[in-house]
Amino acid sequence: MMKEEDEQPALIDLVFSWSIADIINKDLYRDKVNPIPDTFSSSDNYLESFVNPLLEEIHADLNSEFSSLHSAPTCEIFDVNKISNNNLFYSIVLWRSRNSDDNPRRYKPEFGDLIALTDVEPNCIDDLSTPERPYSVALVQRMKNQESITISILSSQPIVFEKCIIGKRLFAVHLTNMITNMRIWKSLHPGFGGNRNIINSVLNTNPSLEEKCTLCSFTETESLRVSKSRENINSFGLDDSQKAAVLNCIALTECRHENRVKLIWGPPGTGKTKTVASLIFALLKMKCRTVTCAPTNVAVVGVTKRLMRMKIDEHEELYDVFLENRVSVLAHCFAPLVGWKGCLDQMMSLLEDPQVQYLHYFEQQKEINKKDEDDEEMENTGKSENLKETSKRDSLKKLVIQNKRDNKKKKSKQNASSREKGKSKCDEVKISMTFDDFFTKKFFVLRKKLFVCTTGLYTHLPTSYLPLGVVKNMIVVLDMLQLLENFLRTVNITNDGCVHRALFGVEETGLCGTRLECLKVLKLLRLTFSVPNFIDDSKIKNFCLTNACVLFCTVSSSVKLYTKRMKPLEMAIIDEAAQLKECESSIPLQLPGLRHAVLVGDEKQLPAMVISKICEKAGFGRSLFERLVKLGHSKHLLNIQYRMHPSISLFPNKEFYGNRISDGPNVRKISYEKRFLEEKIYGSFSFVNITNGKEELNNRNSLRNIVEVSVVVEIVSRLYKETMKSKKRVRVGCISPYNAQVYAIQESLEKANYSTDANDLFSVYVRSVDGFQGGEEDVIIISTVRCNGSGSIGFLDNRQRANVALTRARYCLWILGNGATLLNSDSIWRKLVLDAKKRGCYYNAYDDKNLSLAISNALIQLNELNSLFGMDSILFKESNWKVCFSAQFHQSITRFHDMEIHKAAVSVLVKMSNGWRQLKKKDENAPKNFDLMGGASSQLLEFYDVKGPIKLVWTIEIVIENSIEKQVIKVLDILPRWEISELAKKFDAVVGNYTMNQMSRCLCKQIQR
């Protein structure tokens, strides 16, 4: 377990003390949780206000997990060993199951997990406590790595487990993860950071005094570094509102008299991430130590990606900023022998006096040869030894020249003379490489190693530790080494001695001059810079965190910056600050030395999720950003949106932002209006009314609407087909406020195997509204789910949730829902439906034949046959013929459980309602003597093929509408062919009462051409 959690065990002790009865008691903390006030009397009062709500939230989380134990991730424990006799620390070994990947309840414990220990795989609360063993929980404290099957835990009570007993088993059941809550708990108690300056500045707020520091206001001129930053900011391509926000925040760095908090208000699509990245870039240039954090890793990576696109140090690889990767690289660079220092020394030695290294190589080769000869003597006894040892005092120069004899090509007279002169006993030694070969190979290896270490240093070392002059010299050295390598790769090695003459001649020009100059810079680097003398990962981590100018982390993990040797941080930037519980923001806001903070967010979008209804009522989910706005704290509005087509931004801008947001020039261009499908219903903004939907609860009390799922699947299918034709990339997002609907859509789309990779030609991303916050796609399809007569829409009524859903699309936003339900809701959705109608963007699903068919198939799946086969059915909304059904038909259709029969009947009826008629042909399977029965039914009764022997029996009736007689299709029955004769007899009795006028009207036909 990490140090910060070890020092504050109080929270886990409280959780360990809760019995099962305590956890299932929803009122355990009800009387202890008070509403969180808007203002506070002191920092102690401020922090204490969050303590009991935090406990209640943890309690509610566990209560929720206990109610769904039947699906809780579980793994079996193989062995348990006590680490120490004085405490409850244990080491447990997990079973490694071969088929674990196929198990939906598969569980891989993670650091900080709270687990229940039980002797059965639990399906209910009672399974957690058996007479043989009382309920116990444990906290996962250490893991060697992600793949480890051995973990360390802290248990709430002694664990008794004898693995040798047959039938005795032990399971670990995941309940929740405690890391973030433990860090929040620590930040709320005395002795955490000691720096409450920022906290004290937000206890209350006075809008009239917050803008400028009293002392700073006397200084009219700005500093040189702020002036230089202003020039840099002008080149960032920011709009006026973005630029003003960045400049205002940069001005904070000049104030050392007060601790201040600035708010940047970034509505959807207004370039919030670009603004934050520009601010960080400016602070980096000013050498202002800054920590940037956000609630989630995704948000942190988003800001980091945007910053890397600004080409900081011309290095764009995102992985370079991750601490784990940085530590790994630096550990290699810091290694004494194989790291940067060792490579530097070897390269200097090779360039300055390579003969020494070649002599060393020669001695090594001689020893190898001697060993080979000794081995040969043992195999061939009696043979005389002819090879004599070469004297170490022989001239190394003669050795270099002599070994050129290994080349089999003819030599020039000059080389031959030199060879004769340098002849010695060492001729007998087998040398595998000449000097030129040796130098070339050695140089290539060292240059590669030195390149890796040098680039690793200037990429990963904090800029405060690595002077700019040293970096320039490093780059110069790498360039010169590259020149030398280029020469060695092109030189003709068979021309012996050319490498030696070119690099070690008497002339200090050309390559020889490059070698000497390179050697000079290498020596300068050796004198002016040295790497730290440690290679331990934890020390390197602290070194990086201590010396870095810009740090990125989640709000929770900023707790790792509380180290004694840490250089003070000047500025904290919290992105997505409106999605953060105020108590969690207390972690980074108490960092040692912190002077100012910038909160970036939008309180009009979703706040942090809160499980407990008690906490929600108390305001536990409220952010510091939202509270300050409520108190009148000023905020810098980013007022131009660059994401949504104007027809999409129109409603949210008016409803949520008081028309204060302008559309950017890019979205106003004609080219920004995309037509992914031809039909009018699929414009930039549409509300599609689905009248035949049915909302239903799943087993987790979440709502879904299968009819809307079918419509979503149909639309996505059509988009995919059109994309494959046009070959133009399309990214589709499917959003619903209900998790059950999200799962249903995902399950249906998985059958088509659509890609979720945004880089592919066509991709589909399905998430809840909460999960889509911060995202955007080309096309957004919203499924609102609700369909009832009362207008009840539950938490869909939340304006912040509606804002998020309606602002994710770039080019097209298509909203699916029951118009009547939403109109009756008296909510933001009522306003949206009315707005869609007013703008001519309201459509009925039955206007589109493909959607009608999709809906009918869904109704068949739901067995909603009465709704499908009725006078008001969507099948016949736009048909030429009115269709009505007999009671007998409704009874008969329900007898068939084959959905293919239902679908076939729908197909026949839709075609009939639009004027199609089945060609008359001799049917061998028709009832015998049907045409010869002589009854009137033979003239009026029709029977059409459905599937196999099943026939649809129908006739023509006359109805009076508005005093006008009209023909309608009357569907009498659906039945096997052998039952039609009996139906005909009954129908004869009915038709026998028709007048001649009625008969003639029923038989009247008009053919359209």
How far is it between the farthest Cα atoms of the chain?
137
> Which residue from 175, 173, 109 is spatially nearest to 143, judged by alpha carbons?
109
Q: Tell me if 426 is assigned to some domain.
A: no
Q: pLDDT tens-digit profile of 122-150?
A: 888 888 876 666 678 999 988 765 566 88
Q: What is the pLDDT of residue 991?
A: 81
The CA distance from 354 to 984, in Å, is 111
Instruction: Look at 91-105, 209-223, 360-374 and tell me which has the smallest mean pLDDT.
Output: 209-223
Mean pLDDT, range 686-712, rounded to an integer? 91
Q: What is the pLDDT of residue 432?
A: 67
Residues 869 and 766 in one domain: no
The CA distance from 252 to 215, in Å, is 13
Cα dist from 369 to 230, 373, 435, 903, whole Å: 71, 6, 18, 87
Residues 588 and 655 in one domain: no
pLDDT for 316 beyond 90: no
Residues 567 and 493 in one domain: no
Residues 794 and 936 in one domain: no
Q: Tell me if 621 is assigned to some domain.
A: yes
User: Percent of the chain having pLDDT more than 70?
Assistant: 84
pLDDT for 6 beyond 60: no
Mean pLDDT, range 57-67, rounded to an integer? 94
Joined together, the tokens standing for residue 167 give 């039938």
More confident residue, 428 or 649: 649
**pLDDT bucket at 467, cuts 50 / 70 / 90:** confident
What SS3 class is residue 659? Answer: coil
Amino acid sitting at position 928:
K
What SS3 class is residue 72? Answer: coil
Residues 579 and 486 in one domain: no
Q: What is the pLDDT of residue 681?
A: 95
Beta strands in 406-563 (DSSP E): 550-554
Strands 260-265 and 636-637: parallel
Q: pLDDT tens-digit profile of 848-875?
A: 888 988 988 888 888 888 888 887 787 8
Mean pLDDT, range 25-32, rounded to an integer? 95
Q: What is the DSSP string of 164-225?
A: TSTT---EEEEEEE-HHHHHHHHHTSTTS-S--HHHHHTSS--TTTSSS-TTGGG--SPPHH
What SS3 class is residue 770? Answer: helix
Q: Which helix (H) or strand (E) holds 138?
A: strand 136-143
Amino acid sitting at position 66:
F
Mean pLDDT, range 254-261, rounded to an integer? 82
Dihedral angle over CA of 625, 629, 631, 635, nearest 10: 110
pLDDT for 597 beyond 90: yes
Q: pLDDT tens-digit profile of 381-413?
A: 444 444 333 333 344 444 444 444 444 343 344
Q: What is the pLDDT of residue 639?
A: 97
Q: pLDDT tens-digit profile of 172-186?
A: 999 999 999 999 999
Domain that holds residue 606: 197-207+221-322+549-638
Q: What is the pLDDT of residue 935?
A: 62
The CA distance from 421 to 308, in Å, is 63
What SS3 class is residue 967? Answer: strand
Q: Which helix (H) or strand (E) holds 307?
A: helix 297-308
**pLDDT bucket at 486, cuts 50 / 70 / 90:** confident
Mean pLDDT, range 534-557, rounded to an integer? 88
The CA distance from 130 to 435, in Å, is 80
Q: What is the pLDDT of residue 386?
A: 40
| Residue where a domain terminates, one of 606, 638, 670 | 638
Mean pLDDT of the chain: 84
Residues 666 and 736 in one domain: yes
Q: Tell me if 69 is assigned to some domain.
A: yes
Q: Is 994 left (phi over 0), alpha (psi -120 to 50) or beta?
A: beta
For the chain, helix, strand, coil in percent to 5 are: 45, 15, 40
Residues 916 and 935 in one domain: yes
Q: Are 79 and 102 in contact (CB under 8 A)?
A: no
> Which residue from 182, 158, 157 is spatially nearest to 12, judged by alpha carbons?
182
Residues 667 and 700 in one domain: yes
Strand order in the sheet with 950-961: 883-885, 964-976, 950-961, 942-947
Terminal-residue alpha carbon distance, the chain: 83
Q: What is the 3-state secondary structure (H, E, C) of 665-724?
A: CCCCCHHHCCCCCCCHHHCCEEEEECCCCCEEECCCCCEEEHHHHHHHHHHHHHHHHHHH
Residues 763 and 843 in one domain: yes
Q: Tell me if 537 is assigned to some domain.
A: no
The CA distance from 629 to 263, in Å, is 9
Residues 449 and 560 in one domain: no
Q: What is the pLDDT of residue 242?
A: 97
> Which residue from 495, 545, 564, 509 is spatially nearest to 4, judged by alpha carbons?
564
Instruction: Provide long-range contacts, Cβ within 8 A and 24+ apart, for 2-10.
Output: 2/560, 4/182, 4/183, 4/186, 4/559, 4/560, 4/562, 5/112, 5/141, 5/179, 5/182, 5/183, 5/186, 7/186, 8/182, 8/185, 8/186, 8/189, 10/185, 10/189
Q: Tell me if 543 is assigned to some domain.
A: no
Residues 201 and 182 in one domain: no
> Which residue from 797, 743, 736 is spatially nearest to 768, judged by alpha carbons?
736
Q: At what angle do helices 706-726 and 739-750 cross, to 10 degrees?
A: 40
Integer-rounded Cα radius of gyration of the chain: 40
CATH number for the domain spanning 99: value is 2.40.10.170
pLDDT for 449 beyond 90: yes
**pLDDT bucket at 164, cuts 50 / 70 / 90:** low
CATH number for the domain spanning 726: value is 3.40.50.300
- The total number of structural domains that make up the chain: 5
Q: What is the pLDDT of residue 564?
A: 66
Joined together, the tokens standing for residue 147 give 């793949």
- 177: which strand partners? 113
Dihedral angle over CA of 796, 801, 806, 807, nearest 10: -170
Q: What is the pLDDT of residue 384?
A: 40
Q: Tell me if 415 is assigned to some domain.
A: no
Q: What is the DSSP string of 114-158?
A: EEEEESS--SSGGGG-BTTB--EEEEEEEESSTT-SEEEEEESS-
Q: What global pTM score does this model have? A: 0.81
Q: Tell me if 483 is assigned to some domain.
A: yes
Q: What is the pLDDT of residue 763?
A: 96
The CA distance from 282 to 285, in Å, is 5
Dihedral angle over CA of 74, 77, 80, 86, nearest 10: 0
| Residue where a domain terminates, one of 638, 658, 690 | 638
> Which residue from 757, 831, 841, 774 is spatially nearest to 808, judged by alpha carbons?
774
pLDDT for 932 beyond 50: no
Would you tell me how many other CB atoms lie within 10 Å of the CB of residue 883?
Answer: 20
The CA distance from 879 to 896, in Å, is 26
Residues 841 and 895 in one domain: no
| Residue 415, Cβ density class (10 Å: 0-12 exposed, 13-18 middle, ≥19 buried) | middle
> Which residue from 982, 985, 885 is spatially nearest to 937, judged by alpha carbons?
985
**pLDDT bucket at 216, cuts 50 / 70 / 90:** low
Q: Are 991 and 983 in contact (CB under 8 A)?
A: no
Q: pLDDT tens-digit profile of 608-626?
A: 999 999 999 999 999 999 9
Q: What is the pLDDT of residue 268?
A: 97
> Which residue from 567, 570, 565, 569 is spatially nearest to 539, judged by alpha carbons?
565
Joined together, the tokens standing for residue 31 give 């009387």
User: Percent of the chain having pLDDT more than 90?
Assistant: 46
The CA distance from 903 to 215, in Å, is 79
pLDDT for 647 beyond 70: yes
**pLDDT bucket at 672, cuts 50 / 70 / 90:** very high
Find all residues with CB under 8 Å of 438, minimum gap 6, and list them: 354, 357, 358, 361
The CA distance from 906 to 770, in Å, is 38
**pLDDT bucket at 840, cuts 50 / 70 / 90:** very high
Q: What is the pLDDT of residue 926?
A: 56
Mean pLDDT, range 468-490, rounded to an integer? 89
- Give just the sign of the alpha carbon dihedral 689, 690, 692, 696: negative
Q: pLDDT tens-digit profile of 788-802?
A: 989 999 889 999 999
Strands 113-118 and 136-143: antiparallel
Mean pLDDT, range 863-891, rounded to an integer? 84
Cα dist from 147 to 91, 102, 108, 445, 625, whole Å: 16, 17, 8, 35, 40
Angle at 486 between CA 481 and CA 487, to 5 degrees: 100
Q: Are 605 and 773 in contact (CB under 8 A)?
A: yes
Q: Tell me if 391 is assigned to some domain.
A: no
The CA distance from 311 to 317, in Å, is 10
pLDDT for 924 beyond 70: no
Mean pLDDT, range 550-565, rounded to an integer? 87
